[in-house]
Amino acid sequence: MKKQGLQWVFSILGGLLLLFVLGPVLGLLFSSSPVRIFETARDPEVKNSILLTLGTSMAGTILFAVAAVPFSWLLARYSFPLKKLVTAIIDLPVVIPHSAAGIAVLGFISRDTLLGKAGSWAGFNFVGHPAGITLAMAFVSLPYLINAARDGFLTVPERLEKAALTLGASPARVFFTISLPLAWKNILSGLILMFARGMSEFGAVVIIAYHPMITPVLIYERFTSFGLKYAQPVSVLFILVVLVFFLILRLLLSKTKNN
Amino acid sequence: MLQLENVNKDFREFCLKDISFKVEKHDYFIVLGASGAGKSILLETIAGLIRPDSGNLILNGRDITRLPIQQRRIGLVFQDHAVFPHMKVRKNLAYALHGQSRHEIRGKINSISESLGIEDMLDRYPSTLSGGELQRVALARTLIQDPEILLLDEPLSSMDSRLKAGLRALLRRIHRDGQTVMQVTHDYEEALSLGNRIAVMDHGRVLQTGTPDEVFHYPRNGFVAHFIGLKNFFPVTIMTEEGHPYAETRGKMKIRLNSGQDNMKGFVMIRGEDIILSQAIPETSALNIYQGLVREISANPGGFDICMETPETLHALITGQSMEKLNIHEGMQLWLSFKATAVKFIEE
């Protein structure tokens, strides 16, 4: 009997939490009529913003994954002096306040820095450019990928890699045929997390590039310029797009799981 | 064909100290030692997964100490088989044949899977296979690359006795078909049953190398004898007399035992505790009764070791009380007896 009573209390608390999350979201979804949302979807400014947001985050995720995933493998397999320090550095972006992160990245890529000069040579300025947005997004979301990938590699028994080496495979072949496939579930999860985190970033991005406007920034602008009613449709649309996107990715993930 | 010269490796909790021995072609070489003796480290060093701190590894006259793993032509099967779970058996087998033509690969897969009896598993995933089947897949995967020497890390340790018998027979066949094998184990019965040469290892050192007879019969130091824990150990041939089997030792001593087929060769072992001493000829159901001379008495943690000379040398383990009761001293004549069931026979 007592146990049931406790379960009830926990369930009620849980229910309140769910309400806390669901309430505002449902309220938002019902705030605008389907007609308004449709109109907003056809607004070129909104369309471009959403595409930009998805594109820059995806680019950042894929680009940085090339370095992050192998690095995660190193972290999983080897211990070295200062490893604790390295792990702490990786987690820094999570604890740094977002706008401060933006300022930090800005100082790193503005015109008169090494990176900024490289950008100029290539013909663009990172500040106020999608490339800068990508960097800001990647900066705040990288830890999620590295940690997920590292955890994934930790689940791959080292013995399998050793066996593969004795069967004549080069270390590279072992990485791509054994380590990566077996850690893939976690890596994919990490990629999705990084993509999601990057896409929802406001503070760091707005410092680097107010324009072109990613959707979080667009929503902010519409709110400050015109008020709640004007910001709601964009918000609804963005949330719907995000939800659909992640539903698809999650389905992809569960398909991999079943394999 | 494989020679280790003064190989040393300091490796966190384990180490190898000044390891030197030789494995000849067609040997079934056993490295015997307790867990933690460094046996797995030794195998990984030979395979190239671990670089020794000093010393040399020579394979067929070629110094392979600094040679990369992939070029050594050495096969290694881990204790837990390490079959790749995300690939079907076929793909596991083909893994070592990267770069060869499809026709060649198919041919080799067919021949090795037939040889190891795994033809009907080729399109299955490892998760659907039993431990014994996985062990065979792991062996096939390694043998398919035709290694100069096959290294086995405690292949029988996680198996029940029925599986063990099957795998032992398979390993013997692989060896008979020409494969040089080096196996590490902590089980001396396995060592006797499979090996033609044994190296005993303890705490990273090789204490003795030789044939099973040399190592067990003439242990070079207390450790080997203690590790094996048996002193009554004789190479024998089984004969029958009036339908009952007995084991004849080199010294022509006839030891009655429970089982065995005519002309089988192997070893018999009798625990010291199973030997009963008496001053007069004992009236007993035991089939093995001999008279012997006390050669030496030594104190043991478990009691007293009475070394007796019958045609062969037998060690009986008795308590201090029994010592007093019989008033045993060196040079006296005593009767020994032990049951046929106390005699353990291991086929060669």
Stretch B192-204: mean pLDDT: 88
Domain boundaries, chain A: 51-212
Which of B47, B80, B98 is nearest residue A166 as measured by Cβ atoms?
B47
Per-residue pLDDT, B250: 83
DSSP character for B69?
G
Residue B277 to residue B297: CA distance in whole angstroms: 13
Task: Kindly report, residue by residue over A62-85, the tens digit of the pLDDT.
Answer: 999 999 999 999 999 998 889 999
How confident is the prediction for chain A on average, in pLDDT?
Answer: 90
CA dihedral B64, B69, B71, B76 (to 10 degrees): 100
The nearest CA of chain B is from the CA of A163 a distance in Å of 7
- One-letter identity of residue B300: N
A257: chain B residues, CB-CB within 8 Å: none
* Residue A23: pLDDT band with limits 50, 70, 90: very high
The nearest CA of chain B is from the CA of A179 a distance in Å of 10
CB within 8 Å of chain B, chain A residues 22-41: none
B235 pLDDT higher than 90: no
- If one counts every other C-beta atom within 10 angstroms of the C-beta of residue A45, the result is 13
Cβ-based contacts under 8 A for chains A and B? 47
Q: Are residues B172 and B27 in the same domain?
A: yes
Residue B185 to residue A46: CA distance in whole angstroms: 70
B74: chain A residues, CB-CB within 8 Å: 166
The nearest CA of chain A is from the CA of B247 a distance in Å of 44
Residue B263 to residue B242: CA distance in whole angstroms: 15
A77: chain B residues, CB-CB within 8 Å: none
Superfamily (CATH) of domain A51-212 = MetI-like (1.10.3720.10)
Is the CB of residue B154 less than 8 Å from the CB of residue B167?
no
B85: tokens are 């779970």
Is the CB of residue B83 less than 8 Å from the CB of residue B39?
no
Whether B162 has its CB under 8 Å from any CB of chain A: the answer is: no
Residue B101 to residue B103: CA distance in whole angstroms: 5
Distances (CA, A) of A169 to A78, A100, B95, B202: 20, 46, 8, 33
Residue B9 to residue B7: CA distance in whole angstroms: 7
ipTM of the modeled complex: 0.80
Nearest to B96 by CA among B129, B143, B53: B143
B112 pLDDT higher than 60: yes
Which of B82, B86, B96 is nearest residue A168 as measured by Cβ atoms?
B96
Q: Are residues B24 and B68 in the same domain?
A: yes
Q: Are residues B314 and B332 in the same domain?
A: yes
Is the CB of residue B28 less than 8 Å from the CB of residue B185?
no
Per-residue pLDDT, A115: 76
Q: Are residues B223 and B236 in the same domain?
A: no
For residue B188, what are the domain limits?
2-228
User: Percent helix, strand and coil across chain A, each rounded to 5?
Assistant: 85, 0, 15
Q: In this structure, is the dihedral angle defined by the CA atoms of residues A170, A176, A177 and A180, taken in order, positive or negative?
A: positive
A166: chain B residues, CB-CB within 8 Å: 47-49, 69, 74-76, 142
Length of chain A in residues, anyone?
Answer: 259
Task: Kindly report, residue by residue over A227-258, the tens digit of the pLDDT.
Answer: 998 899 999 999 988 888 888 888 877 776 65
- One-letter identity of residue B159: M
Whether B69 has its CB under 8 Å from any CB of chain A: the answer is: yes
Domain count, chain B: 2
CATH of the domain at B196: 3.40.50.300
Is the CB of residue B308 less than 8 Å from the CB of residue B294?
yes
Is the CB of residue B253 less than 8 Å from the CB of residue B314?
no
CATH of the domain at B316: 2.40.50.100
A259 pLDDT higher than 60: no
Maximum separation of any 2 CA atoms in chain B, in Å: 78
**Cross-strand partners of B315:** B307
Q: Are residues B277 and B322 in the same domain?
A: yes
Q: Are residues B57 and B182 in the same domain?
A: yes
Residue A89 to residue A83: CA distance in whole angstroms: 10
A173: chain B residues, CB-CB within 8 Å: 98
Find which of A202-206, B199-203, B259-263 is predicted with most confidence, using mean pLDDT.
A202-206
Consecutive H or E run containing A42: helix A34-42
Task: Kindly report, residue by residue over B39-82, the tens digit of the pLDDT.
Answer: 888 999 999 998 999 899 999 888 988 889 988 889 999 988 89
Q: Residue for token digits 């150990």?
A: B233
Domain final residue pick, B198, B228, B258? B228
The nearest CA of chain B is from the CA of A187 a distance in Å of 16
Domain final residue pick, B176, B211, B228? B228
* Residue B219: pLDDT band with limits 50, 70, 90: low
Q: Are residues B162 and B251 in the same domain?
A: no
Q: Are residues B191 and B122 in the same domain?
A: yes
Mutation choice for B interface testing from A155, A156, A159, A166 by most B CBs within 10 A: A166
Distances (CA, A) of B102 to A164, B73, B98, B105, B299: 20, 21, 10, 5, 67
B226 pLDDT higher than 70: no
Q: What is the pTM of this model?
A: 0.80
DSSP character for B129?
S
**Cross-strand partners of B244:** B241
Per-residue pLDDT, B36: 66
CB within 8 Å of chain A, chain B residues 138-157: 141-142, 145
- Taking an 8 Å cut-off on Cβ atoms, the answer to whether B69 and A166 are in contact is yes
Q: Are residues B294 and B189 in the same domain?
A: no
Stretch B11-23: mean pLDDT: 85
* Residue B249: pLDDT band with limits 50, 70, 90: confident
CA atoms within 13 A on the CB side of A202: 7
Alpha helices in B204-281 (DSSP H): 212-217, 222-228
Whether A66 has its CB under 8 Å from any CB of chain B: the answer is: no
- Taking an 8 Å cut-off on Cβ atoms, the answer to whether A167 and B141 are in contact is yes
Domain final residue pick, B207, B228, B249? B228
Residue A105 to residue B153: CA distance in whole angstroms: 53
CA atoms within 13 A on the CB side of A35: 0
